[in-house]
Amino acid sequence: MTTSPELSQSGERTIEIRGGEVVYEIVGAQGDFIVLTAGGRFSKDIPGLRPLAEALAHGGYRVLLWDRPNCGKSDVQLFGESESHMRAAVLDDLITALGIGPCILAGGSGGARDSMLTAILYPQQVTKLVLWNIVGGIFGTYVLGHVYAMPSILAVRGRGMPGVLAVNDWRSCIEANPRNRERLLRFTEDEFLNIMLRWLNAFVTKPGQTIPGVDDTLFNDLAVPTLIIRGGKNDLNHPKRTSLEVQCLIKGSELIDPPWPEDAWERASEAMAQGKAKGFNLFDTWVQAAPKILEFLDR
């Protein structure tokens, strides 16, 4: 693992983790560390994430923002039982390499899933969990499979690895980090297809898996203080029911109502679909959770 001595204007650093570079930055000058993780395949620079990081830093914490592998400027990484398993392994090594553990993990949507799995698999790294917009249910998990795996599977089967390079997610990774073109082309068609099929399997709804690709029994030993901000009443991507089920799985966890409107995700999704998302993004409301998060962490 190597750290770049160079700082960009935005305060970014790079560190080599598991054979790939991870881009990160730290917001705040002192206090306990919070690893704040975005959702989707969005980078740390997705609108809405930094205001939350700054609010938490203003509350006395240092916040690590990072481009997860396959997001933003970090290198592509393709290994593990699922994409979240891969990111949990990378985050474990990242926390160790930076010497910031054990620390608080906080994240929404895919970031909540990555944070939960990290806490389950590497409990020595985590002191507290803060989770919101937790994905679950048939609709939510099928959407994830459709978005994250199916385009790549269809591309590699139809046009080989050159076709994979044209898939929106991978094209964005290459545009942000040109090294990713070569990293993807290191895989044969069969290798890449097998990984994508394995990752797709995590998003097939199964009995005993409230969280995609994670057996409920794995929560049995999870014993860190946890705050859950429940999903909106009609949010099909992050169902209220899933939040309640996760509260049952994590012993002693606390569940609160969302500090943003119940239909915040639906309205943001509509704005994006209609091309009106400028100035109103999926994560714009997240900063509204800062007071509740700080209250929980400061107890």
- Count CB-CB contacts under 10 A for residue 102: 16
In a domain, 17, yes or no: yes
In a domain, 42, yes or no: yes
Tens of pLDDT, residue by residue, the chain (299 residues): 444 433 333 599 999 999 999 999 999 999 999 999 999 999 999 999 999 999 999 999 999 999 999 999 999 999 999 999 999 999 999 999 999 999 999 999 999 999 999 999 999 999 999 999 999 999 999 999 999 999 999 999 999 999 999 999 999 999 999 999 999 999 999 999 999 999 999 999 999 999 999 999 999 999 999 999 999 999 999 999 999 999 999 999 999 999 998 888 888 888 777 776 554 578 989 999 999 999 999 99
Q: Residue count of the chain, please give it.
A: 299
How far apart CA 155 and CA 200 sit, in angstroms, is: 14
SS3 category, 29: coil
| Residues forming a β-bridge with 64 | 26, 35
In a domain, 259, yes or no: yes
In a domain, 150, yes or no: no
C-alpha dihedral (178, 183, 186, 187), degrees to nearest 10: -120
pTM check: above 0.75: yes
In a domain, 244, yes or no: yes
In a domain, 202, yes or no: no
In a domain, 250, yes or no: yes
Q: Check which CATH number belongs to the domain holding 96 and give it.
A: 3.40.50.1820
SS3 category, 252: coil
Can you give the residue range of the structural domain that contains 125?
13-137+216-297
Q: How many domains does the chain have?
A: 1
